[in-house]
Amino acid sequence: MKIDVKHIADLSRITLSEEELKQFTPQMETILESVEILTTVNTDSVQPMKKHIPLEKLRDDVSREGLTQEEVLKNAKYTEQGYVKIYGKIFGDIEES
C-alpha cells in the first residue's frame, strides 16, 4: 500500500526532512498493511468486548509513587541515554542502529 507521508505530515503541520520521509514512508506502509490484514478476519461470530460500567462502580483515583527511572531501566533489554530502546519490524532491527 502506497502512502503519501509528506501530504499527511503537511496536513498535520509536521515538517519532515527528506531523510525522515525516506525512513517513515516504509514504516507507515508496514503499519497500514498490518491493519489491512485485520480487516480480512471474519468476526461475524465474535461478541463485542464492550461492557458498560456504571460510574458508581469505578475505583477512586488515588495517586501513588511510580517507578524510578533506574527501576524501569533495570528490566529493559536495551537502553540508551537513560531511555528504553525498542527494536522490531516498525522501529528497525538492532543492526540498523
Query: How far apart, in Å, do the first and last CA atoms of the chain sit?
Result: 26
Question: For 1-40, what is each residue's pLDDT tens digit?
Answer: 678 889 989 999 999 999 999 999 999 999 988 888 888 9
Q: What confidence tens digit (pLDDT) does each residue in 38-93 have?
A: 889 898 898 887 777 787 878 888 999 999 999 999 988 889 999 988 876 655 55
Q: How many CA atoms lie within 13 A of 84 on its CB side?
A: 11
37 membership: H or E segment, kind and range: helix 18-38
DSSP the chain: ----HHHHHHHTT----HHHHHHHHHHHHHHHHHHHHHTTS--TTPPP------GGGSPP--------HHHHHTT-S-EETTEE---BTTTB-GGG-
In single-letter form, the type of residue at position 7 comes to H
What does the alpha-carbon distance between residue 1 and residue 31 come to, in Å, rounded to a whole number?
10
